[in-house]
Amino acid sequence: MNCLELLKAKNLKATPQRMSILKALSKHEHPNIDELYEQIKEEYPAISLATVYKNLGTMIDEGLVIELALPNSKSKYDIYEYEHIHLVCNKCNSVYDLDYDKAYINDYQKKLQNNISFKISNIKMTVFLEECSNCK
């Protein structure tokens, strides 16, 4: 995960704050903004929450980061590396990544595309869990 290259490729300045945000997200812990802010502060105590908001915004716009919107909980954030399924715990809202057989969804997407008139961009699958090891 070369954060510097990622930013360069999108013509975004590689400020230490941005690097730190990307580094934190690359752990795939799916922090919400407050958790992310706290984590960055450990390295850059002076960073402002506004900077985190602004950077998430621009990096989402550039496709480097994805926002995981969840019912009844603040959005969580993830660095974008490749498509994957998210497992979301209904009890504690923890999120886990899951690699999967893309063929299955690709297949479904094709089937679906034949039945609707608008162009499908992508399909997102979210698996909700009754509980998980974090909340049990």
Partner DNA sequence: CTACATGCAAATTTTTTGCATTACA
Partner DNA sequence: TGTAATGCAAAAAATTTGCATGTAG
Q: Which residues bind DNA (CB under 7 A)?
A: 7-8, 12-18, 33-34, 44, 46-51, 53-55, 57-58, 74-75
Query: What is the distance in angstroms between the CA of the first residue and the CA of the last residue of the chain?
Result: 32
What's the CA gap between 30 and 5, in Å, rounded?
A: 22
Does residue 98 interact with its own copies by CB under 8 A?
A: yes
* Site of tokens 């930013």: 7
H-helix or E-strand spanning residue 79: strand 73-79
CB of 48 to its own copies, least distance (A): 21
Q: Which residue in the set 11, 45, 46, 72 belongs to the binding site for its own copies (CB under 8 A)?
A: 72
What's the CA gap between 34 and 111, in Å, rounded?
A: 40
Does residue 106 interact with its own copies by CB under 8 A?
A: no
CB of 97 to its own copies, least distance (A): 12
